[in-house]
Amino acid sequence: MFYLLSKSLDLAVSPIVWVIALVAIALTMIARRSPRRGRIALCLMGAIAVLLVTANPTLADRLWLSIEDDAPVTYDDAQSYDAVILLGGVLPTGLTDPARPSYNDNVERLLVTYDLLRYDHAKVVIITGGSPLGDATYLSESSALSAQLQNWGIAKERIFVDDVAVNTRQNAVETARIAREHGLSKLLLVTSAFHMPRALGCFRAVALAVDTLPADYRVVPARFRPTDFAPRTDALDRTGDALRELLGRAVYSVLGYAK
């Protein structure tokens, strides 16, 4: 239920949904021959304004930087950790063939984890991420990532798998269970920088202490260029992703899933 609710809330902060809604309202009023031409114009201008603002690369980058800048880094490269925790979200939803994985923009989480293991900065890895909605038709993400690490030479005995979790809250719950069952206490959490504050809050909520190593930084401050104010589709996507993450943080905080 929470998974479906979260996906529904995602639509509420999607700029493209706002645009479609405003245009649909305007078209409905036009179809009904509404005499309120001012409201029709207002809806259409609103749709254009939303596109211009949310698809602006400069504004999108500023928003994205705001959610990456507060990612804490407490990783100590002089330490040997009992376990590195790899959060899912690296593979597209609905993976069915582990022999032909297709990674998304979060793949740096996997690459950083692999480096930590092969250079012995962590003894084992806990991979957490199940199949979509718990549907056994699809391969669990943790199983696919475990297979990938083994293909790269990481021994199976160094890999613990949670194939239950389908959100960040469950990632923390299931990781805490595995860590306590195997006596793993010095832990390092790896996830994307934009996701780290919410993820760390979830681990605090289940009373599991972790160091943090954010990965996958996507935006760096750049010098002003006139072309940066021209609308771009990638900026629209970045704005939508940032708004979804901010909404996720708010919802998790209200529900007590993150501290």
- The tens digit of pLDDT for each residue in 109-151 reads 999 999 999 999 999 999 998 876 555 666 788 988 999 999 9
Residue 137: the pLDDT is 64
CA-wise closest residue to 64 among 244, 259, 253, 187: 244
**Residue 205: both structure tokens together:** 């909520």
Residue 225: the pLDDT is 67
Low-confidence ranges of the chain (pLDDT < 70): 1-8, 92-99, 132-138, 222-227
Contacts with 26 (C-beta within 8 Å, 6 or more apart), sequence order:
40, 43, 44, 47
Q: CA-to-CA distance for 19 and 247, rounded, in angstroms?
A: 19
Q: Where are the domains of the chain?
A: 2-69+232-255, 81-215
User: What is the dotted CATH code of the domain comprising 81-215?
Assistant: 3.40.50.620
By three-state DSSP, how is residue 63 classified? Answer: helix
C-alpha dist (Å) from residue 91 to 38, 104, 145, 237 = 47, 6, 9, 18
Residue 10: the pLDDT is 75
Strand order in the sheet with 81-87: 159-162, 122-128, 81-87, 187-192, 211-215
Q: Give φ, ψ of 157 to 5 degrees.
A: -65, -15
Other Cβ atoms closer than 10 A to 255: 11
Q: CA-to-CA distance for 108 and 36, rounded, in angstroms?
A: 52
To which residue do tokens 């706002």 refer? 18
Residue 177: the pLDDT is 97
243, 249, 255, 259: CA torsion to nearest 10: -170
Residue 103: the pLDDT is 85
Quick check: 247 and 198 in contact, CB under 8 A? no
**Residue 144: both structure tokens together:** 């696919």
Q: What are 188-215's pLDDT values in tens digits?
A: 999 999 999 999 999 999 999 999 999 9
Quick check: 134 and 93 in contact, CB under 8 A? no
Residue 244: the pLDDT is 93
Helices first, then strands: H and E counts in the chain: 9, 5
